[in-house]
């Protein structure tokens, strides 16, 4: 039902396939250096760019990051992990040690005061004061280590995260990747506009999503309206249950999301109040781990217990109450048909199941997909693109026989190894570990092969985009997170400066959704059929409506009542049978009519009979991968961002290390100097690139070539063509800054082949003469 509303690009691939050990790039400050994953430190030299060499001038971010010890840097991921809290052993022991040091300082302070009151000899008092000072130094040292453990950086880990995020967001907004919507009117929280490079990145990601899933898996793509009638979302459960708990400032009326306030309070205490005991810290972490499971009463009780007030005014807060996150509207000028802006794209696929099943030749399994806008009226949106009120979802509904959830292509992903975080490890306080996908399925950690197949395909999709493998994990939902009807659910979580962020949900939703929309709700049976080679005798629920009596009672509505009766499940049918036998009549809801009717005992016969059947009729299960495109884009921005100094070391350049696959502009064309003959060659190359379908940009400004390189590096452009003759030109690769010389006639085809993945930069480097131009990089 979309993302849980609480809501292979390693270094070689990112540089076109060529190792950079021979041609040393300048030192770089990367997100992976500031936010290393605690679970893969042993592998970081294999899957992350290396930290800047000590001989290179450090950038601001590098200086901020370098202050963190290994242990404290690892605590960043633990601090923001969505796993339930078991007290970290280091933090636990440090809190206990700090309590012991504080007790010792207090005792020694009392001893000093007693010596002074008793007029003890001066040497004895001096010795006691020295002992007190020594204890204070020991206490300060423990405080420093504890601060490092909880904040991720020897006291300034939070500053490191915020400084890095500020550098990324400032660059994104300045270069118009995205900006707050309606900016000249001071904006509206939770709404953002994508600018030209942001639109291009988003378009490229969606094009690859369509290629990777829709085309390669032969999915059926649909495009459904954003405005949805209330009856559809009533059947799906959104009208009644798509809520978050909200509290209000009792004096100003300002609204806040209740669980966010409690979460912020707990995190603030854990990170900044070093005086709390290990037991209190464990309690706060347990609250964080069970936030999703707290009822309105329990959440309100915790808010009162901790004395949480309105953040802006410190006024008291109301009790939590549910707030439906859907934007309500009406369809038509009369306003009589209520509707909502869809909170997800999935329902459009479910209600079209019957026609899609027919289009697919009445065969299972098959998958349908949709890309589109969704809307959620977030109570207090924050964290930029990560929690917004309008966003793009890409969702897949894979329909499968519930008795056979194997997948013919599972062997293609079975040998993939990546970070997995099963619920057992979360509950025991362990970290995610690298696991072979085939092993996870064979052991039953992942419920079935089809679910496992999509987990593997999601991993390949995200890593090909440029998401750092070391900061991507698949976390299994805990029992208190999963819907009662779900067989299993995993989230693809990406670590960024905000912590671990859920970006893709991959769930086995059983047959809930189709049953929710079946005859009783819509008047249409959303079922599949399996024909038997030979008839089989089975015991089956038999519902026989008395159409004559129903026709007399309901006249024109007879058909809707009959279809609703025939669609009952076994439990509901026998409940109705018992009521009819005891009372002679019973109330029965017919959603197609929008009301309940009275059914009498002469209107329907309900029994179980042994019958011979030629086919099996069943409701398919649904495996649903749901992608939050905006969240993926933001995490990709952070994972791709780094800074590097100029040769003098007195200026830092921002770079987005986008793979060619998603780069907003694939190539730039620069005449080295403003000469008509160079500009005509640049125009010729531009026309060739246009014919080849390569997005590019010509820059004929009077700036130095080095400044033009820096400007396009900041947009993440992977290749630059510099025209310095009428015969051949140079191609520069962004991250290594290596250059080769290629003839004017070949340059467009060479760039196109590398962009399309038919050739690597390593191939180009080994095939063409090298070019060195130190002044261009200065």
Q: What is the CATH number of the domain that holds 142?
A: 1.10.287
One domain, residues 276 and 412: no
Q: What is the pLDDT of residues 130-148, one digit of tens each?
A: 998 988 888 888 888 877 7
Q: Looking at the domain assignment, is residue 414 inside a domain?
A: yes
pLDDT of residue 519: 58
Q: Is residue 499 within 8 Å of 483, Cβ to Cβ?
A: no
CA 186 to chain centre: 28
Which residue pairs, CB below 8 angstroms and at least 24 apart, start in 759-765? 760/16, 760/17, 760/18, 761/15, 761/16, 761/17, 761/18, 761/733, 761/736, 762/16, 762/17, 762/18, 762/19, 763/17, 764/16, 764/731, 764/740, 765/18, 765/738, 765/740
Q: Is residue 433 within 8 Å of 425, Cβ to Cβ?
A: yes
Radius of gyration of the chain (CA): 31
pLDDT of residue 20: 30
CA distance 178 to 193: 5
Q: What is the dihedral of CA 439, 444, 450, 453, to 10 degrees?
A: -30
Q: Looking at the domain assignment, is residue 746 inside a domain?
A: yes
Q: How does residue 285 score in pLDDT terms, banded at 50, 70 and 90?
A: confident
Burial class (CB in 10 A: 0-12, 13-18, 19+), 484: exposed
pLDDT of residue 481: 79
CA distance 318 to 700: 61
Residue 580 sits in a domain whose CATH number is 3.30.720.200
Q: Is the pLDDT of residue 295 over 50?
A: yes
One domain, residues 481 and 573: no
Q: How does residue 437 score in pLDDT terms, banded at 50, 70 and 90?
A: very high
Q: Is the pLDDT of residue 152 over 80?
A: no
- Boundary-marking domain end, from 302, 324, 346: 324
Q: Looking at the domain assignment, is residue 640 inside a domain?
A: yes
pLDDT of residue 773: 67
Range with the lowest mean pLDDT among 77-81, 354-358, 604-608?
77-81
Q: Looking at the domain assignment, is residue 115 inside a domain?
A: yes
Q: How does residue 516 score in pLDDT terms, banded at 50, 70 and 90?
A: confident
Calculate mean pLDDT across residues 332-357.
93
Q: Is residue 52 within 8 Å of 15, Cβ to Cβ?
A: no
Range with the lowest mean pLDDT among 219-228, 316-325, 379-388?
379-388
Most confident of 73-77, 438-442, 480-484, 697-701: 438-442
One domain, residues 258 and 230: no
Calculate mean pLDDT across residues 299-310.
92
Q: Is residue 571 within 8 Å of 607, Cβ to Cβ?
A: no
Residue 257 sits in a domain whose CATH number is 3.30.40.230
pLDDT of residue 426: 87
Phi, psi for 68 (deg, rounded to 5): -85, 130
Q: Is the pLDDT of residue 644 over 60?
A: yes
Interaxial angle between packed helices 449-465 and 629-640, expressed in degrees from 0 to 180 and rounded to the nearest 10: 50
Which residue pairs, CB below 8 angstroms and at least 24 apart, start in 548-554? 549/600, 549/602, 549/603, 550/603, 550/604, 553/600, 553/603, 554/597
Residue 754 sits in a domain whose CATH number is 3.40.50.800
Calculate mean pLDDT across residues 331-341.
91
One domain, residues 624 and 502: yes
**Mean pLDDT, rounded, of the chain:** 84
pLDDT of residue 81: 38
Q: Is the pLDDT of residue 694 over 90?
A: yes
Q: Is the pLDDT of residue 436 over 90?
A: yes
Calculate mean pLDDT across residues 207-234.
96
Calculate mean pLDDT across residues 5-32.
37
Q: How does residue 560 score in pLDDT terms, banded at 50, 70 and 90?
A: confident
Q: Which uninterrupted H or E stretch holds 353?
A: helix 353-359
Q: Is the pLDDT of residue 149 over 50?
A: yes
Calculate mean pLDDT across residues 576-598.
87
Calculate mean pLDDT across residues 601-624.
90
Burial code (b: 16+ CB inside 10 Å, e: under 16) for 722-750 equals bbbeeebbbbbbbbbbbbbbbebeebbeb
Range of the domain at 265: 243-324
Number of domains in the chain: 5
pLDDT of residue 60: 33
pLDDT of residue 24: 35
Phi, psi for 469 (deg, rounded to 5): -60, -35
| Two tokens, residue 19 | 């190792």
pLDDT of residue 100: 86
Range with the lowest mean pLDDT among 74-78, 120-124, 422-426?
74-78
How far, in Å, are 10, 265, 395 from residue 289 at the CA level? 32, 14, 28
Alpha helices (H) along 493-628: 512-516, 519-522, 547-554, 558-566, 570-583
44 vs 460, residue with greater confidence: 460
Q: Is the pLDDT of residue 627 over 80?
A: yes
Helix-then-strand count for the chain, H and E? 30, 30
Q: Is residue 26 within 8 Å of 56, Cβ to Cβ?
A: yes
535 vs 220, residue with greater confidence: 220
One domain, residues 500 and 597: no
Q: Looking at the domain assignment, is residue 344 inside a domain?
A: yes
Range with the lowest mean pLDDT among 312-321, 436-445, 565-574, 760-769?
565-574
Q: Is residue 385 within 8 Å of 205, Cβ to Cβ?
A: no
- Boundary-marking domain end, from 618, 635, 655: 618
CA distance 312 to 317: 12
Which SS3 state, helix, strand or coil, does residue 393 take? strand
Most confident of 24-33, 260-269, 352-361, 480-489: 352-361
Give the position of tokens 């806008």.
Answer: 373
Q: Looking at the domain assignment, is residue 9 inside a domain?
A: no
Range with the lowest mean pLDDT among 403-417, 550-564, 705-719?
550-564
Q: Looking at the domain assignment, is residue 502 inside a domain?
A: yes
Q: Is residue 211 within 8 Å of 203, Cβ to Cβ?
A: no
One domain, residues 520 and 496: yes
Calculate mean pLDDT across residues 501-511.
95
Q: How does residue 30 score in pLDDT terms, banded at 50, 70 and 90?
A: low
Peptide bond into 365 cis (omega under 30): yes
Q: Is the pLDDT of residue 610 over 50?
A: yes
CA 624 to chain centre: 15
pLDDT of residue 94: 82
Which SS3 state, helix, strand or coil, does residue 141 take? helix
Q: Is the pLDDT of residue 357 over 50?
A: yes
Angle ∠(622,341,636) on CA atoms, nearest 5: 65
One domain, residues 253 and 370: no
CA distance 248 to 319: 8
Q: How does residue 429 score in pLDDT terms, banded at 50, 70 and 90?
A: confident
pLDDT of residue 569: 76
Which residue pairs, CB below 8 angstroms and at least 24 apart, start in 64-68? 64/34, 64/153, 64/156, 64/159, 64/160, 64/163, 64/164, 65/29, 65/33, 65/34, 65/153, 65/160, 67/153, 67/154, 67/156, 67/160, 68/148, 68/152, 68/153, 68/154, 68/156, 68/157, 68/160
Q: In what order do the strands lie in the sheet with 243-248?
A: 255-257, 243-248, 321-324
pLDDT above 70 covers a percentage of the chain that reads 85
154 vs 431, residue with greater confidence: 431
Angle ∠(291,295,296) on CA atoms, nearest 5: 110
pLDDT of residue 704: 86
One domain, residues 612 and 574: yes
Q: What is the pLDDT of residues 519-548, one digit of tens each?
A: 556 778 899 998 888 888 878 888 999 999
One domain, residues 523 and 543: no
Q: Looking at the domain assignment, is residue 79 inside a domain?
A: no
Give every CB contact of residue 613 below 8 A, 6+ residues apart in sequence: 532, 535, 536, 537, 538, 540
Neighbours of 162 (CB within 10 A): 13
One domain, residues 467 and 411: yes
Range with the lowest mean pLDDT among 17-26, 475-484, 679-688?
17-26
Give every CB contact of residue 447 below 8 A, 6+ residues apart in sequence: 405, 487, 488, 508
Range with the lowest mean pLDDT among 190-194, 424-428, 525-529, 687-691?
424-428
Phi, psi for 370 (deg, rounded to 5): -150, 140
Calculate mean pLDDT across residues 693-709.
87
Q: Is the pLDDT of residue 377 over 60?
A: yes
Tell which phi-psi region holds residue 503, choosing left (phi > 0), alpha (psi between -120 and 50) or beta.
alpha
DSSP β-bridge partners for residue 397: 368
CA distance 394 to 374: 10
Q: How does residue 5 score in pLDDT terms, banded at 50, 70 and 90?
A: very low
CA distance 719 to 734: 6
Q: How does residue 40 score in pLDDT terms, banded at 50, 70 and 90?
A: very low
One domain, residues 751 and 626: no
614 vs 179, residue with greater confidence: 179
One domain, residues 247 and 223: no
């Amino acid at each position: 039902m979309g993302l849980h509303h609480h809501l292979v690009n390693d270094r070689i691939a990112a540089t076109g396939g060529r190792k950079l050990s021979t041609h040393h790039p300048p030192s770089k400050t990367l997100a992976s250096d500031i936010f290393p994953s605690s679970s893969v430190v042993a592998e970081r030299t294999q899957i992350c760019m290396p930290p800047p060499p000590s001989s290179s001038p450090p950038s601001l971010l590098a200086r901020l990051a370098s202050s963190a010890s290994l242990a404290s840097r690892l605590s960043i991921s633990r601090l923001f992990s969505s796993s339930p809290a078991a007290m970290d052993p280091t933090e636990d022991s440090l809190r206990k040690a700090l309590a012991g040091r504080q007790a010792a300082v207090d005792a020694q302070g009392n001893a000093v005061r007693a010596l002074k009151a008793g007029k003890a000899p001066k040497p004895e008092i001096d010795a006691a004061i020295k002992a007190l000072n020594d204890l204070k130094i020991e206490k300060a040292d423990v405080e420093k280590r504890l601060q490092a453990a909880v904040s991720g950086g020897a006291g300034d880990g939070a500053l490191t995260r915020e400084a890095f995020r500020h550098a990324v967001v400032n660059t994104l907004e300045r270069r118009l990747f995205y900006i707050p919507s309606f900016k000249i009117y001071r904006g509206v929280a939770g709404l953002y506009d994508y600018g030209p490079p942001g639109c291009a990145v988003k378009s490229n990601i969606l094009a690859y999503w369509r290629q990777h899933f829709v085309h390669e898996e032969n999915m059926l793509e649909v495009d459904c309206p954003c405005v949805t009638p209330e009856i559809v979302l009533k059947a799906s459960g959104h009208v009644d249950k798509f809520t978050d708990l909200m509290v209000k400032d009792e004096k100003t009326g300002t609204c806040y999301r209740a669980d966010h306030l409690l979460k912020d309070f707990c995190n603030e205490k854990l990170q900044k109040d070093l005086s709390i005991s290990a037991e209190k810290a464990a309690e706060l972490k347990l609250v964080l781990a069970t936030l999703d499971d707290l009822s309105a009463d329990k959440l309100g009780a915790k808010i009162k217990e901790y004395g949480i007030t309105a953040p802006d005014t410190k006024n008291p807060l109301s009790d939590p109450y549910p707030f439906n996150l859907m934007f309500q509207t009406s369809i038509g000028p009369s306003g009589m048909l209520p509707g909502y802006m869809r909170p997800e794209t999935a329902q459009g696929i479910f209600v079209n199941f019957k026609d899609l099943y027919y289009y697919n030749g009445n065969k299972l399994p098959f998958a349908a997909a949709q890309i589109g806008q969704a809307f959620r009226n977030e109570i207090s949106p924050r964290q930029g693109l990560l929690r917004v009120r309008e966003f793009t979802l890409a969702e897949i509904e894979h329909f499968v026989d519930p008795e056979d959830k194997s997948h013919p292509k599972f062997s293609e992903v079975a040998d993939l190894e990546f970070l997995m975080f099963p619920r057992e490890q979360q509950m025991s306080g362990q970290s995610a570990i690298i696991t072979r996908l085939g092993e996870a399925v064979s052991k039953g950690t992942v419920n079935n092969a089809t679910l496992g197949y999509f987990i593997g395909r999601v991993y390949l999709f995200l890593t090909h985009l440029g998401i750092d493998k070391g900061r991507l994990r698949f976390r299994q939902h805990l029992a208190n997170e999963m819907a009662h009807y779900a067989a299993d659910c995993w989230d693809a979580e990406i670590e960024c400066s905000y912590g671990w962020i859920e970006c893709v949900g991959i769930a086995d939703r059983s047959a809930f959704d189709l049953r929710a929309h079946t005859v009783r709700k819509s008047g249409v049976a959303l079922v599949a059929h399996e024909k038997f080679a030979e008839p089989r005798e089975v015991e089956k629920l038999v519902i026989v409506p008395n159409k004559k009596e129903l026709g007399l009672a309901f006249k024109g509505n007879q058909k809707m009542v009959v279809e609703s009766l025939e669609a009952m499940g076994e439990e509901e049918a026998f409940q109705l049978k018992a009521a009819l036998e005891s009372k002679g009549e019973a109330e029965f809801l017919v959603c197609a009519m929008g009301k309940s009717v009275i059914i009498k005992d002469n209107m329907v016969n309900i029994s179980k009979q042994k019958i011979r059947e030629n086919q099996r009729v069943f409701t398919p299960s649904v495996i649903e991968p749901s992608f939050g495109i905006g969240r993926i884009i933001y995490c990709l921005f952070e994972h791709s961002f780094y800074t590097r100094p100029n040769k003098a070391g007195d200026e830092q350049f921002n770079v987005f290390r986008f793979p060619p696959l998603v780069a907003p502009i694939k190539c730039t064309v620069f005449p080295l100097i403003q000469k008509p003959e160079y500009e005509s060659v640049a125009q010729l190359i531009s026309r060739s690139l246009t014919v080849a379908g390569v997005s590019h940009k010509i820059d004929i400004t009077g700036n130095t070539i080095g400044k033009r390189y820096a400007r396009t590096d900041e947009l993440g452009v992977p290749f630059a063509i510099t025209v310095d003759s009428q015969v051949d030109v140079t191609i520069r690769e962004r991250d290594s800054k290596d250059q080769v010389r290629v003839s004017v006639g070949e340059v467009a085809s060479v760039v196109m082949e590398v962009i399309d993945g038919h050739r690597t930069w390593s191939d180009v480097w080994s095939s063409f003469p090298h070019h060195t131009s130190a002044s261009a990089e200065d």
